[in-house]
Amino acid sequence: MLGEARALPGEHDRNFVFEADDGQRFVLKIAHAGEQWETLDLQNQSLAHMAKQVPELHVPRVLTTSAGQATATIKGSGDTMHLVRLLSYLPGKALAQAKPHTPVLLSNLGKMLGTLDKALVNFTHPAARRDLKWDIPRAGWIRDYLHYIPSPDRRALLEQLLGHFETHALPLLPALRQSVIHNDANDYNVLVDYTGPDHTPIVHLLDFGDMLRTQTICELSIAAAYVMMDKVDPLASAASLVAGYSEALPLTDAELSVLFDLICARLCVSVTNSAYQQQIEPGNSYLTISERPAWHLLEQLAKISPRFACYTFRHACGMVPSPTSNAVVNWLKGHTAGIGRIVEPDLKLENVPVFDLSVGSPELGNSLEPGDMAFTTQKLLSRMQAAHSPVGIGRYIETRIIHTNIERHKESNDGPAWATIHLGLDLFMAAGSPVYTPVAGIVHSFSHDDETPGTGPTLVLQHTVADGSLIFYTLYGNLSFDSLIGIYNGMPVEQGTQIASIGDEPPNDGLPPHLHFQLITDMLDRQGRFPAYALPGERAVWLSLSPDPNLVAGIPAARFPVASMSKEQILLSRAQHIGSSLSISYRQPLQIVRGSMQYLYSEDGRAYLDAVNNVSHVGHCHPHVVRAGQEQMAVLNTNTRYLHEKLVRYSERLCSTLPEPLRVCFFVCSGSEANELALRLARAHTGQRDMIVVDVAYHGNTSALIDISPYKFNGPGGAGKPPHVQVVPMPDTYRGKFKSDDSQAGEKYARFVQEAIGHIQEQQRNVAAFISESLLGCGGQVVLPSHYLQEAYRHTRNAGGVCIADEVQTGFGRVGTHFWAFETQGVVPDIVTMGKPIGNGHPLAAVATTPAIAASFANGMEYFNTFGGNPVSCAIGMAVLDVIEQEDLQASALQVGLHLLHELRALTNRQPLIGDVRGLGLFMGIELVRDRQMLTPAPEQAAYIANRMRDHGILLSTDGPFHNVLKIKPPLVFTQHNADELVSTLDTILDEDMAQP
Ligand code: PMP
């Protein structure tokens, strides 16, 4: 039996979905009155063919009548007759609404279309030979309709693209393979569901109404046209689709060379058709549904070189991107003896230094301030001087960030990206040094300006070799402006002649004078300019367009340092030599090679906004802190058994940030060591051993601290609570027993401390200490309710115990209103432990306590700590305090934190997944729930978001007992602008289908 019918949208036909008693769903398709039986038979036969050939394909199945017919007839209104069919229902949401279009999803779509087309290669049907306006080879019909497009600019755009299609693609089409294709894989005919293993997106295809026999490549072209819409980088999206398609059905050279033109032609048809339809049917929104994004895409595509697109597609299919690349490389390899010099000095000499200008190179020094290349310049020049070499080498395929400050970053489909991969070879030499022609040729083009980062005034020579069958280009950048005077395009240049000289203006990448020398296999119709750096995502294509210039320069391979380890090699070695209980963040691990203030840089030069590493409190590698450490390291580093002024000055300064009577410091090397010592102090002072801890707390990695860390002893691999430890519930007013609307919540939660003391005393023992963070970090960034610590401390002290504030995460101005987070609770602890931010990443930590407790600890046993309090650590600790003060970072934490809190709370109105936003200053948590009433935790979504934020270049982490809290605790140099970036990126990601891998 079929249940109730629900109407589905459709352009011409009426479609209804039914659910049978057994839960199976079907679609009843009632064709419009003019529909031909043969056309439906084409669909039915092809679907039956696919069901047999590729039963795994997600396309509809045709159900037959009891008489075995796939198409039946029903009577409509009046005398009209309609053809009806029953198809199986396909689940999922339209690709147009699925977010994001990940490479995996697009590749799966490509694979499904390739599989479908492969299955249809041997399928024929008389009705497949149809004249359809959507058949791309017939796109020329729109020429007569272009006047329906009101804007002259837009008409010109279509004429440009259509012109290229007609002159370049159309003549090649007759020779391309043909077959019956679906011909309409638009983003409403493609459905996506995430029920596959690991939520792998499964792709379904429906609506076979536009099937016809045509060039097979049209199938992919149509899907690509839709997949590329609304993308920052449409070519990258199309490449994923092409990669999947070619896996199932390999593409030919000729097909790949017309693909881009066919995509453009399809879009031209689409927008022209909709302009025409709007004239005759104003108000039909279905027909114009894809007009706006199609126009935007056309404008994007007009700026892309069709050959670059072709090379990108070739790469997606596993081919060499630039078709002449191998031939150029082979020709140069075979003619080394005949190639002349580029510059005067002999580059083969052993003393020629090869520099490391990669992202993580110490040669770049500490500062990444725009234009501040003085350190590097000095370093390079002095290395050349020391080596008595007039020339130094900058490497090809080196990942650099030094130029990125002069080039606006680009956007990728996943947030910002920077062109960082150096495509040339740099020859650092004195300004004015002559540049020679290594191979005879003609001047192809030149440019006087210095718009292209890294190349300055530039000359390009064209070389025609191998009896005229092969052309390649050499590019000379950072030339002197004057040396280009008198040069004209087409000017012949003999091998060995001086063609220019190195510029005397400083090159626009901030480096000392150098020739940027680059090899190019296809100028992509550019004149005088060519990218000197490639985006990591386009690396293979650009490296094929610009092969190794050393094929001309001839520097011996041994002169280049061994390549650094790849991510895969590091992972492999880690697996062998590093304990596997050390975890790695993110599904796609990050290799970080440099830090600067609130940014971390990966090996490919991408900048990540760090919203999670509170250790780098005043900013990664803050110059003042770095200098303090370096200077002291060069003078003395030893232990506290010798008198040193820095130790006492630092302890005085640290104590001055604390309330009385916290006047005694111990310096150690980690937060764990600090808490370990705090336990010993408390136990020595009280003579007791029992501890009261807050649930889900983490206090450190030593045996004694695992015992007081419910996060660990109740977590995976934990051995449970030891008898000497009492756990009190987290005073969590969002999820706990007493909520934020209870003004007595703090006092009520603190009563659990009183109860715990009772349990200890029942066993004839007493409490040594109550330990708590001043905001609960691992517990999920929980802000303590008012009076909680006051009351908990009162109970503890009444029983003779001491109170420990673990400020390892929260201290040093992070909470904004106060320097120490315990101050927000109006208490003075007996012991304060500090770590993480105290040394801005240097292994420094401390315990501050009262003279009385310190005295109890001094029972005759020496406390010795080899590294704790050494002069280098003290210099660094002092420098951190300097920066907090000088840069007013506590005030900034307050201001930026309030702004961020406000913006995140505003997001709550639109994003149902956000259950709670809480925090003080720049210590914040976003708790994600699937249901705001039930508070059902959303850990999978939290993990998804952290990973996607990372994809978009923003680092966060997750925590909390249910792993559903996003943690935000950035370096305090985090700005309001950074906060806005975080919020808008989070907003975008919250809109995504979060079931995706
Ligand atoms: N206490 C708290 C609250 C912490 O978060 C941590 C570290 N996550 C520690 C102590 C231990 O510090 P460390 O890792 O430096 O030993």
Taking the C-alpha atoms of residue 960 and residue 314, their distance in angstroms, rounded to an integer, is: 47
Rounded to the nearest whole angstrom, what is the distance from the C-alpha of residue 700 to the centroid of ligand 1?
5
Indicate if ligand 1 lies below 6 Å from the C-beta of 700: yes
Could you write out the DSSP letters of every residue in 733-792?
Answer: TTTSSS-TT-TTHHHHHHHHHHHHHHHHHHTT--EEEEEEESEETTTTSEEPPTTHHHHH
Among protein residues, the one with the nearest Cα to ligand 1's atom 1 is: 699
Rounded to the nearest whole angstrom, what is the distance from the C-alpha of residue 709 to the centroid of ligand 1?
11
Position 452 scores a pLDDT of 67
Beta bridge partners of 93: 192
Choice from 691, 698, 776, 812 to test ligand 1 binding pocket (greatest atom count within 8 A of CB):
698
Per-residue exposure over 586-616, b if at least 16 CB sit within 10 Å of its own CB, e if not: eeeebebbbbbbbbbbbbbbbbbbbbbbbbb
Taking the C-alpha atoms of residue 583 and residue 551, their distance in angstroms, rounded to an integer, is: 43
Position 405 scores a pLDDT of 57
Is residue 733 within 8 A of residue 742, CB to CB? The reply is: yes
Indicate if ligand 1 lies below 6 Å from the C-beta of 808: yes
Rounded to the nearest whole angstrom, what is the distance from the C-alpha of residue 534 to the centroid of ligand 1?
41
Indicate if ligand 1 lies below 6 Å from the C-beta of 837: no
pTM summary value: 0.95
Choice from 673, 679, 699, 702 to test ligand 1 binding pocket (greatest atom count within 8 A of CB):
699
Task: Identify the band that residue 453 occupies on the pLDDT scale cut at 50, 70 and 90.
Answer: low
Among protein residues, the one with the nearest Cα to ligand 1's atom 2 is: 699
Position 2 scores a pLDDT of 61
Indicate if ligand 1 lies below 6 Å from the C-beta of 712: no
Kindly give the number of the ligand 1 atom that is closest to the alpha carbon of 672. Answer: 16
Evaluate if residue 29 carries a pLDDT over 70.
Answer: yes
**Which pLDDT tens digit goes with each residue over 478-488?**
999 898 999 99
Rounded to the nearest whole angstrom, what is the distance from the C-alpha of residue 972 to the centroid of ligand 1?
19
Indicate if ligand 1 lies below 6 Å from the C-beta of 221: no
Evaluate if residue 408 carries a pLDDT over 60.
Answer: no
DSSP state of 972: T
Token pair in block for residue 925: 């948590």
Taking the C-alpha atoms of residue 620 and residue 622, their distance in angstroms, rounded to an integer, is: 5
Position 74 scores a pLDDT of 87
Beta bridge partners of 2: 20
Evaluate if residue 126 carries a pLDDT over 60.
Answer: yes
Indicate if ligand 1 lies below 6 Å from the C-beta of 806: yes
Which residue did the predictor score with more confidence, 7 or 323? 323
**Which pLDDT tens digit goes with each residue over 680-707?**
999 999 999 999 999 999 999 999 999 9
DSSP state of 793: H
Rounded to the nearest whole angstrom, what is the distance from the C-alpha of residue 808 to the centroid of ligand 1?
6
Taking the C-alpha atoms of residue 508 and residue 457, their distance in angstroms, rounded to an integer, is: 10
**Which pLDDT tens digit goes with each residue over 254-287?**
999 999 999 999 999 999 999 998 888 877 776 6
Kindly give the number of the ligand 1 atom that is closest to the alpha carbon of 778. Answer: 5
Evaluate if residue 251 carries a pLDDT over 90.
Answer: yes
Taking the C-alpha atoms of residue 204 and residue 196, their distance in angstroms, rounded to an integer, is: 12
Per-residue exposure over 48-63, b if at least 16 CB sit within 10 Å of its own CB, e if not: ebbbebbeebbbbebe
DSSP state of 499: E
Indicate if ligand 1 lies below 6 Å from the C-beta of 698: yes
Taking the C-alpha atoms of residue 18 and residue 3, their distance in angstroms, rounded to an integer, is: 6
Choice from 673, 771, 773, 809 to test ligand 1 binding pocket (greatest atom count within 8 A of CB):
809
Taking the C-alpha atoms of residue 980 and residue 614, their distance in angstroms, rounded to an integer, is: 19
Taking the C-alpha atoms of residue 44 and residue 47, their distance in angstroms, rounded to an integer, is: 5
Kindly give the number of the ligand 1 atom that is closest to the alpha carbon of 845. Answer: 15
**Which pLDDT tens digit goes with each residue over 433-449?**
999 999 999 999 999 87
Indicate if ligand 1 lies below 6 Å from the C-beta of 670: yes
Is residue 648 within 8 A of residue 672, CB to CB? The reply is: no
Is residue 453 within 8 A of residue 509, CB to CB? The reply is: yes
Q: Give the HSE-up count for residue 585: Cα atoms under 13 Å, Cβ half-sphere.
A: 17
Kindly give the number of the ligand 1 atom that is closest to the alpha carbon of 836. Answer: 15
Position 958 scores a pLDDT of 98
Burial class (CB in 10 A: 0-12, 13-18, 19+), 78: exposed
Evaluate if residue 128 carries a pLDDT over 50.
Answer: yes
Position 997 scores a pLDDT of 41
Of the chain, the percentage scoring pLDDT greater than 70 comes to 97
Evaluate if residue 996 carries a pLDDT over 60.
Answer: no
Position 281 scores a pLDDT of 80
Evaluate if residue 771 carries a pLDDT over 50.
Answer: yes
Choice from 808, 844, 969 to test ligand 1 binding pocket (greatest atom count within 8 A of CB):
808
Range with lowest mean pLDDT among 5-9, 246-250, 642-646, 746-750: 5-9
**Which pLDDT tens digit goes with each residue over 173-214?**
999 999 999 999 999 999 999 988 888 899 999 999 999 999
Among protein residues, the one with the nearest Cα to ligand 1's atom 5 is: 809
Indicate if ligand 1 lies below 6 Å from the C-beta of 420: no
**Which pLDDT tens digit goes with each residue over 822-879?**
999 999 999 999 999 999 999 999 999 999 999 999 999 999 999 999 999 999 999 9
Evaluate if residue 67 carries a pLDDT over 60.
Answer: yes
Burial class (CB in 10 A: 0-12, 13-18, 19+), 754: middle
Sequence-distant (6+) residues with CB within 8 A of 867 are 639, 669, 843, 873
The mean of the pLDDT values for the chain is 94
Evaluate if residue 983 carries a pLDDT over 60.
Answer: yes
Is residue 655 within 8 A of residue 848, CB to CB? The reply is: yes
Which residue did the predictor score with more confidence, 727 or 362? 727
**Which pLDDT tens digit goes with each residue over 321-377?**
999 999 999 999 999 999 999 999 999 999 999 999 999 998 888 876 656 678 888
Rounded to the nearest whole angstrom, what is the distance from the C-alpha of residue 953 to the centroid of ligand 1?
26
Which residue did the predictor score with more confidence, 654 or 370? 654
SS (H, E, C) 927-945: EEEEECCCCEECHHHHHHH
Evaluate if residue 289 carries a pLDDT over 70.
Answer: no
Taking the C-alpha atoms of residue 484 and residue 457, their distance in angstroms, rounded to an integer, is: 8
Position 637 scores a pLDDT of 97
